[in-house]
Amino acid sequence: MASIRFSNITKRWGSFVGVDNLSLDIADREFIVLLGPSGCGKTTSMRMVAGLDDPTLGDIFIGDRRVNDLEPKDRDIAMVFQSYGLYAHLSVYENIRFPLKVRGIPNAEHDAKVRAAAAMVELTEFLERKPKALSGGQRQRVALARAIVRQPNCFLMDEPLSNLDAKLRISMRAEIKHLHHRLNVTTIYVTHDQVEAMTLADRVAVMEKGRIRQLGTPTDIYNNPANLFVAGFIGSPPMNLIEGDIIDGQFRAEGVSVPLPFAGSRTDVVLGIRAEDLRLTDPMYGHFRQKVYSVELLGDATLVSQRIGARLITARADKGFRIEMGATSAFEAVPSAYYLFDRVSGDRIA
């Protein structure tokens, strides 16, 4: 059993609160991603599970065991870092073997275990090389092999892909997903990259300022963001967010008037619409009619942006769609695609 529980965990340094009363239950075999901007407390949360930082308040459990007072080496955890953390003077083989030696696993078992782990990440032909003779992606594979070689209770991965170029990141992402499927080991994965989070996670914990702002499956978080922070953080391009007021069932902002599917008035709201939910339409009818501010060809789609006040709003059109910069464009959305937030609290209201 390797469930992991954060129970009311706070981490302070002096008066600065890095992690703020965090509670989170991670199921056995679950792949959970801690996602958030730099400084939101992701790494610190993970380091407390590893025993590299002590919580100021609260308890951490691995399985049924409270581990606050347990040495890192006794927690049966393997970590993978952005910086790989390989020993330069050791061969790939010896790097992968290292945790077996440290843990006193009988020598007779080493060779089979090292070769099995290396095979799993396709490193068999590189076993005699030193890390400096490997590419970044290969080095990260060595780090992964070293993590899996002793079959720990859980993996902790801190931005393991962020040193790799964009193409390698995508292939290593698939590799990590495949490994999890094969090994089924509870994993906490830290990243600020929402695409990584969405593609890898069983559940994502979106963090801001030491707190979890939303916890849910990737689909949940994408389709039902609980607040402005999550809405603006998840999605590429991010959700269009337009500040305004509701007057008699119409959303009003500078140069914009959008009928809403309900009556009533309310000040200080934010209307949210995802780019793929905005359609380009006849300039006679669209709710958002402005000159085209930019056109971006992505290959699989075309992004068309208008400027409303100080903000850009972006529609995702088909890949073949073409429009001139400066031409008048019109966007419309189906009302069911609208999200409404309270501008002050940031909470979702509809």
How many Cβ atoms are within 10 Å of 346's Cβ, its own excluded? 17
Q: Which stretch binds ligand ATP (CB under 6 A): 35-43, 220-228, 238-246, 328-336?
A: 35-43
Q: Select from 2, 26, 30, 44 the one that contacts ligand ATP (CB under 6 A).
A: 44
Q: With respect to ligand ATP, which residue has the nearer C-beta, 18 or 216?
A: 18
CA distances in angstroms from 101 to 84, 85, 113, 134, 155, listed in the order given: 19, 17, 12, 23, 19
Indicate which single residue of 24, 33, 43, 79 sits in contact with ligand ATP (rule: CB under 6 A).
Answer: 43
Please provide the DSSP assignment of 8-33 as one string: EEEEEETTEEEEEEEEEEE-TT-EEE
Residues touching ligand ATP, count (CB under 6 A): 12
Place of tokens 């789609």: 301
15 touching ligand ATP, by CB under 6 A? no
Task: Kindly state the smallest distance separating residue 79's Cβ from ligand ATP, in Å.
Answer: 14
Q: 38 or 219: whose CB is closer to ligand ATP?
A: 38
Does position 42 bind ligand ATP by CB under 6 A? yes
Among the listed residues 276, 273, 287, the one whose alpha carbon sits nearest the alpha carbon of residue 231 = 273
Selection from 274, 289, 270 nearest residue 222 by Cα: 274
Binding track over 147-186 against ligand ATP, x by CB under 6 A: ----------------------------------------
Residue 240 CB, shortest distance to ligand ATP, in Å, is 26
Residue closer to ligand ATP, measured from CB, 42 or 213: 42
What is each CA distance from 193 to 189, 197, 234, 273, 275, in whole angstroms? 11, 6, 9, 21, 19
Identify the residue among 192, 203, 316, 348 touching ligand ATP (CB under 6 A): 192
Q: Which amino acid is at 84?
A: Y
Tell the smallest beta-carbon distance from residue 269 to ligand ATP (Å).
30
- Residue 156 forms beta bridges with which residues? 79, 188
Tell the smallest beta-carbon distance from residue 316 to ligand ATP (Å). Answer: 28
* Residue 216 touching ligand ATP (CB under 6 A): no
**Which residues of this protein are in contact with ligand ATP, per CB under 6 A?**
13, 16, 18, 36, 38-44, 192
